[in-house]
Amino acid sequence: MTQHAVESSDTARSEAVSDALSDPFTPPAGSALWRKNFLLGAATASYQIEGAVSEDGRLPSIWDTFSATPGKVLHGDTGAVACDHYHRWESDIELLTSLNFEAYRLSIAWPRVMDEAGRPNRKGVDFYKRLLGKLKDNGVQTFVTLYHWDLPQHLEDRGGWLNRDTAYRFADYADLMSRELGGHVDAWMTLNEPWCSAFLGYGNGHHAPGLANTRYATQAMHHLLLAHGLATAVLRENDPASKKGIVANVGKSSANSLSAEDKRAAHLFEVQHNAWILDPLLKGEYPRDLWSLWPEAEPLVLDGDMRTIHAPLDFLGINYYFRTNVQSDGAHGYTEVPLAGVERTQMGWEVYPEGLRDLLIGFHRNYPALPPIYITENGMASDDRVSDGRVDDAQRIAFLKRHLAAVDQAIAEGVDVRGYFVWSLLDNFEWAFGYERRFGVVHVDYRTQQRTVKRSAQLIAKFLQERASRA
């Protein structure tokens, strides 16, 4: 960004902070958030918090390999220790409960629960049984993601998501988990953000396994979605009482001008970020415009694949963070043009809650088969510091308030949104950005593992307590 853009962004951030300090974290009367059946929870992911990467039979994952490769992760950080949640899970669940969160979204580490032959690793399975059991004992609803990017390295060595066989190995994994953990899980999510797994992992190399080829990305995506469909059938057979879904990260675009070329560029951005995943899931086909963006990159699709991918969903998880302003690249694609004078987070992402509202309303209109929605991730990174035992994360408070208001507006327009999960419960390993970017509503001192509840979490807890008292 230019210096002017930085100064304007700082001004926008200051205004958001002022708003947060002057206005309590309380939805207005009549808001859907006051309904007891609107679920409010927090989310985490295994590799980002657990640590203990070599304990109790856990196998290496692609993120162990990637983060240990020089230059791949900021400051050379790895998930080897992270938040040490593997050893501190009981106190972390007590903390979650003390904050009055009604639901917890977590992920299972595939390398922790199965060996290379597909047999269960009993110590790993028992860890999740104990964790889920404690959550249920505390009355917390459990939303479990099977795949949050930590593919076993031995499967990557055989081609990873470029190998069709990985989809069948994923179904085996789903079979084992649903047989072992059935009854402990309220909602299963097969995949987290397949766009990131496919495009960042195989398309541009920013994430593990670090490959960079558009053909790789589209084929990896097809196998990821096939894995989802195969696993969904297994989950329905083994654990019929639970809900089954998938989590998609979605992006909002804006055109840099009113020209037809820039409007087309904004459309293609949303095709690539949204329709690439949602059309196969909800329509049983890939969007045709995707191949105008990526000619000659269509994946190999076998007979019956799209029918498997198009399996009915009980819910759709939506992760949303920011808007991207784009213009035509002069060919058949788009290029990003950062806007000046907008509020941004520590990640450099624009704060644009209207994008969440508009996307939800658009999905509701464009997909007749749209199932109920949970916002499974929404939050922001900031450079939070502990001062006198407090963390006053005013920008995050404003961010969460405004995005919850956007969800409320979408509900008023007829969108069936059932709940919202804050990303994240804890500061954690933020993938290629390591430990520098803090998304948690609880601060983690990575040297001492001291947890400090931020002001945002205190206000959420206060609201949830007030809501419960009104029930």
CA 165 – CA 159 distance, rounded (Å): 9
Q: Is 183 helix (H, G, I), strand (E, B) or coil?
A: coil
Helix (H) or strand (E) holding 281: helix 276-283
Parallel, antiparallel, or unpaired for β 187-192 and 243-255? parallel
Phi, psi of 238, rounded to the nearest 5 degrees: -85, -30
Q: Are 148 and 45 in contact (CB under 8 A)?
A: yes
pTM, to two decimals: 0.95
Q: What is the pLDDT of residues 194-213, one digit of tens each?
A: 999 999 999 999 999 999 99
Q: How many Cβ atoms are within 10 Å of 80's Cβ, its own excluded?
A: 13
Give me Rg for the CA atoms of the chain.
Answer: 21
Residue 83: HSE in the Cβ half-sphere, 13 Å Cα cutoff: 28
pLDDT at position 58 over 80: yes
For the chain, how long is the longest CA-to-CA vector? 62
* Residue 14 confidence class, pLDDT cut points 50, 70, 90: very low
Which pLDDT tens digit goes with each residue over 363-419? 999 999 999 999 999 999 999 999 999 999 999 999 999 999 999 999 999 999 999
Token pair 């000046």 in the structure block, residue: 340
pLDDT for position 8: 46
Q: Are 152 and 209 in contact (CB under 8 A)?
A: no
What's the token pair of residue 436? 């520098």
When pLDDT is cut at 50, 70 and 90, the band that residue 26 belongs to is confident
User: Which one, of 121, 106, 101, 125, lies nearest residue 40 by Cα?
Assistant: 101
Tens digits of residue pLDDT in 250-286 = 999 999 999 999 999 999 999 999 999 999 999 999 9
pLDDT over 80 (residue 25): no
Task: Tell me: pLDDT of 28 over 90.
Answer: no
Question: Which residue ranges make up the annotated binding site?
Answer: 48, 148, 192, 321, 423, 430-431
d(CA 458, CA 99): 7
244, 230 Cβ separation under 8 angstroms: no
Whether 186 has a pLDDT exceeding 70, the answer reads yes
Quick one: pLDDT band at residue 7, thresholds 50, 70, 90?
A: very low
Domain ranges of the chain: 3-470
Both structure tokens of 397: 């408070």
**Amino acid occupying residue 140:** V
Token pair for 434: 């390591």
Q: Which of 13-22, 221-230, 432-441, 448-457 has the lowest mean pLDDT?
A: 13-22
| Start-to-end CA span in the chain (Å) | 48
What are the backbone angles phi and psi of residue 437, rounded to the nearest 5°? -100, 125
* Secondary structure class of 82 (helix, strand, coil): coil
What's the confidence (pLDDT) of residue 141? 98
How does pLDDT run across 415-449, given as a tens digit for each residue? 999 999 999 999 999 999 999 999 999 999 999 99
Please tell me the predicted confidence (pLDDT) of residue 5: 40
- How does pLDDT run across 75-111, given as a tens digit for each residue? 999 999 999 999 999 999 999 999 999 999 999 999 9
Q: How confident is the model at residue 27 (pLDDT cuts 50, 70, 90)?
A: confident
Residue 22 has pLDDT above 80, yes or no: no
Query: What local confidence, expressed as pLDDT, does residue 187 receive?
Result: 98
On average, the pLDDT of the chain sits at 94
Query: Is it true that the peptide bond before 91 is cis, omega within 30 degrees of 0?
Result: no
Q: Is the pLDDT of residue 306 over 60?
A: yes
Q: What percent of the chain clears pLDDT 70, i.e. is strictly above it?
A: 95
Residue 459 has pLDDT above 60, yes or no: yes
Confidence band for 24, pLDDT divided at 50, 70 and 90: low
* Confidence label for 18 from pLDDT (cuts 50, 70 and 90): very low
SS3 helix, strand, coil % of the chain, rounded to 5? 45, 20, 35
CA distance 360 to 349: 20
Residues making up the annotated binding site for substrate are: 48, 148, 192, 321, 423, 430-431
Domain 3-470 sits in CATH at 3.20.20.80
SS3 308: helix
Catalytic residues: 193, 377
User: What is the percent of the chain where pLDDT is above 90?
Assistant: 92
